[in-house]
Amino acid sequence: MSRKKNSQTNVEKQRRNEVVKRFDDYFGAGKLEDWQRLCIKIGLDADGCDLSSITKCRKALKSVYINIYDLVEAINKGEEVPRFASLDQLVRYTLGTRRIYPKAQAKKYGPVRALMRNVFRDE
The count of structural domains within the chain is 1
In a domain, 121, yes or no: no
Q: What is the pLDDT of residue 53?
A: 96
Inform me whether the pLDDT recorded for 11 exceeds 50. yes
- The sign one gets for the Cα dihedral 123, 71, 99, 114 is negative
Domain interval for residue 53 = 3-115
In a domain, 122, yes or no: no
pTM, entire model: 0.82
For residues 38 and 40, give the distance between their C-alpha atoms in angstroms, rounded to a whole number. Answer: 5
pLDDT tens digits, one per residue of 27-71 = 887 899 999 999 999 999 988 999 999 999 999 999 999 999 999
In a domain, 64, yes or no: yes
pLDDT-derived band at 123, boundaries 50, 70, 90: very low
Which residues, other chains included, contact 23 with Cβ-Cβ below 8 Å and sequence gap of 6+? 68, 71, 72, 101, 112
pLDDT tens digits, one per residue of 88-103 = 999 999 999 999 888 8
Q: What is the pLDDT of residue 108?
A: 66
